[in-house]
Amino acid sequence: MSTLFLSHPAALDHQTPPGHPERPDRIRAIDRALEDERFAGLVREPAPLGTAAMAELAHPAAYVKAIEEVAPRDGMIAIDADTTMSPGTLEAVLRGVGAAVQAVDEVMTGRARNAFSAMRPPGHHAERTRAMGFCFFNNAAITARHAQKAHGAERVAIVDWDVHHGNGSQDIFWSDGSVMYCSTHQMPLYPGTGAVSERGDRDTIVNAPLRPGDGGDIFRAAFETAILPRLESFGPDLIVISAGFDAHWRDPLANLNLTEADFAWATQKLMALADTRCEGRIVSLLEGGYDLDGLSKSVAAHLSALMGA
Ligand SMILES: [Zn+2]
């Protein structure tokens, strides 16, 4: 079965201030890497435009409306010190939402084995009622909720290997035992959450923080000892990956030393678990990753693994 790849040129139209690491060139670098013939087998579809109702799967209607209303017609507005909106931002955000929902529909109905959305801006820092850390709507949370509401998934696991802790995803599912949130991330680092002691009201938050300088061996050990056994016993009907690639050694925003091979390894581990637990169903969403070479090589390794190459 196939691997679905969703993206859209609108991802290039979310402008950020000069020098901002979360920039349109990230998507261009991924597009270039995927021109290689080993990706000829990807099923490529344009990310459809999502709706406010989809965003409301993870956020209150008033928050969704506020984001829509604050979006500028021209110029740029700052939501916080690192999070800005340009005239193209809202469409990019909504196509990120639409891609997540489309990916769930294709994977849950068996039309695709797994799926990857290469959209920006990312989503995992967006809390229920707060945009922050380059993020507006929490795509991973929307993905999990849509799988539950539209496809009857009982349990969904979100695995987040972005180098930053996904405070937004943790916030949204803190009291919800039907969605497990697992994260490896550098600590200390933005946004400051993600201690092992943060376990949620239902013990379904699993944080495995890493220290600055840690490399692939320590990442893999944390993944195998702290995360995979919890996923096994949880038994998800779908695995969502918050696939940030800023733990790559080249990344300018953090100090972990992962390589693209580590991301491929983690992908294969999750695929093996998904094969035994949920017919291989994985939806992966691009989060961070700010060195263009590290990002494009890591996405290529991740996609090669998802394709079974
Ligand atoms: Zn990040």
Q: How far apart are CA 99 and CA 90, in angstroms?
A: 14
Distance, CA 92 to ligand 1 centroid (Å)?
Answer: 18
pLDDT digits (tens, 9 = 90+) for 55-99: 999 999 999 999 999 999 999 999 999 999 999 999 999 999 999
Which position among 125, 164, 248, 302 bears the catalytic label?
Answer: 125
DSSP-derived letter for residue 224 is I
Q: Specify the amino acid at residue 282.
A: I
pLDDT digits (tens, 9 = 90+) for 139-196: 999 999 999 999 999 999 999 999 999 999 999 999 999 999 999 999 999 999 999 9
pTM of the shown model: 0.99
Residues shown for the chain: 309
**What's residue 139's pLDDT?**
98
Distance, CA 1 to ligand 1 centroid (Å)?
Answer: 30
pLDDT at 137 over 90: yes
pLDDT digits (tens, 9 = 90+) for 1-58: 799 999 999 999 999 999 999 999 999 999 999 999 999 999 999 999 999 999 999 9
**What's residue 1's pLDDT?**
76
Instruction: Please give all residues whose CB falls under 5 A of ion ligand 1, grouped by chain where several chains appear.
Output: 162, 164, 244, 246, 288
CA atoms in the 13 A half-sphere facing the CB of 161: 32
Task: Tell me the average pLDDT across 267-280.
Answer: 98
Distance, CA 173 to ligand 1 centroid (Å)?
Answer: 19
Distance, CA 111 to ligand 1 centroid (Å)?
Answer: 30
CB atoms within 10 A of CB 80: 11
pLDDT at 283 over 80: yes
Q: Which pair of tokens denotes residue 224?
A: 């195998």
pLDDT at 309 over 80: no
**What's residue 121's pLDDT?**
98
Q: Which pair of tokens denotes residue 99?
A: 């891609």
Give one word for 34, left, alpha or beta, with left for phi > 0 and alpha for psi -120 to 50: alpha
Mark whether 59 is an active-site residue.
no
Distance, CA 162 to ligand 1 centroid (Å)?
Answer: 5
Q: Cβ distance 302 to 284 under 8 Å?
A: yes
Residue whose C-alpha is closest to residue 83's, from 168, 148, 141, 3: 168
Axis-axis angle for helices 89-108, 61-70 (nearest 10): 140
